[in-house]
Copies of this chain bind each other. A is one copy, B any other.
Amino acid sequence: MTISLTEENYLKAIYTLSRLGDESEVTTNEISKHLKNKAATVTDMLKRLAEKKLINYIPYQGVKLTEKGKRTAIKVVRKHRLWEVFLVDKLNFKWDEVHEIAEQLEHINSDELIQRLDVFLGKPKFDPHGDPIPDANGQLNTIKALPLNQRKSKGNFIFVGVNEHSKSFLQHLTGIGLKIGDSLLIEEINEFDNSFKVKINKTNSQFFSNKVASNILVEIKK
């Protein structure tokens, strides 16, 4: 049974959306919004995917990936993230330039290719945005990072990933001079607007709005 590029994109969307919330059912409208297709189109595809046993679908009740569907979705995510590492590490693209190209590359179909690419890149565990790369068996490091704005006390953290992948946000961070792996020391938390004053790498102090802070994922520095 072959899975089309479009079907792969639907499976990935369902996977991504189910991870945002509580792992429960994903709704037609969520998928519709995410993929920028009309709800009627989504319903059609849900029937097709259910037919292929890639999702469990009860009309009006939303969908969940089957094991098979989940495996497929994770493989697409794995490819997407490996290619992003390739583009940044080997071709010197910036982290805000790679997503659209990876959206295409993630559909290239060759197990041998993924395997060799993985080795060539040194079996990376995270992509350029800090997102974990599933291994060949579909296992992925659960990330224990939290958004910066949920840290209620001052302290020392490491910037490990982003919640928001838009080009403008990534460029904003680059403008500030913030990169994955940088240390972040919360110096002030302003009560009235929940903005933060943060020192990056012990040198340069910056103000982060709550919006920005909510999209920056940090771990506690050991």
* CB contact between A101 and one of B97, B100, B113 (< 8 Å): that residue: B113
Cβ-defined contact, B104 with A109, below 8 A: yes
Contacts of A87 in B (CB 8 A): 113
Q: How far is the CA of A110 from the CA of B105 in the complex (A)?
A: 11
Cβ-defined contact, B120 with A91, below 8 A: yes
Contacts of A91 in B (CB 8 A): 113, 116-117, 120
Tell me if A211 is interfacial: C-beta within 8 Å of chain B: no
Contacts of A92 in B (CB 8 A): 116
Cβ-defined contact, A116 with B104, below 8 A: no
Contacts of A144 in B (CB 8 A): none
State the number of copies, please: 2
Q: CB within 8 Å of B: which of A93-121? A: 93, 97, 100-101, 104-105, 108-110, 112-113, 116-117, 120
Majority SS at the chain A contact face: helix
Contacts of A152 in B (CB 8 A): none
Contacts of A90 in B (CB 8 A): 120
Q: How far is the CA of A126 from the CA of B141 in the complex (A)?
A: 41
Q: How far is the CA of A91 from the CA of B97 in the complex (A)?
A: 23
Contacts of A100 in B (CB 8 A): 110
Q: Which residue of B lies closest to A115 (CB)?
A: B91
Interface string of A163-193 (1 = CB under 8 A from B): 0000000000000000000000000000000
Q: How far is the CA of A110 from the CA of B109 in the complex (A)?
A: 19
Task: Show 19 residue pairs from A and B whose CB-CB distance is below 8 angstroms, ordered by the A residue.
Answer: A87-B113, A90-B120, A91-B113, A91-B116, A91-B117, A91-B120, A92-B116, A93-B112, A93-B116, A97-B112, A100-B110, A101-B108, A101-B110, A101-B113, A104-B108, A104-B109, A104-B110, A105-B108, A108-B108
A contacts, CB < 8 Å to B: 87, 90-93, 97, 100-101, 104-105, 108-110, 112-113, 116-117, 120
* Beyond A90-B120, A97-B112, A104-B109, 13 extra complex contacts between A and B, CB < 8 Å: A87-B113, A91-B113, A91-B117, A92-B116, A93-B112, A93-B116, A101-B108, A101-B110, A101-B113, A104-B108, A104-B110, A105-B108, A108-B108
